[in-house]
Amino acid sequence: MTDDLYDRYQRAARAYKAHREACAQCTDTAPCPDGMRLYAPLERLQDAYLTALRRRTGR
């Protein structure tokens, strides 16, 4: 499960990064509406992946 979660997390990160590099409206503190639609799942997947990693390593 963690590997699939990691892959989804990384795909979301790449999609958000590509958008941020191309979008003149996004800032470090306030993504545009399209950027927020990409950031929200990235944030959720990152939290889920890190939680799964902590559980797997016992931390």
pTM for this one?
0.84
Residue 7: strand, helix, or coil: helix
| Residue 1 pLDDT > 70 | no
pLDDT bracket for residue 56 (50, 70, 90)? confident
Which residues have C-beta within 8 Å of that of residue 52, sequence separation ≥ 6?
1, 2, 5
> Closest Cα partner for 48 from 10, 11, 5?
5
d(CA 48, CA 5): 8
For the stretch 10-48, pLDDT in tens is 999 999 999 999 999 998 889 999 999 999 999 999 999
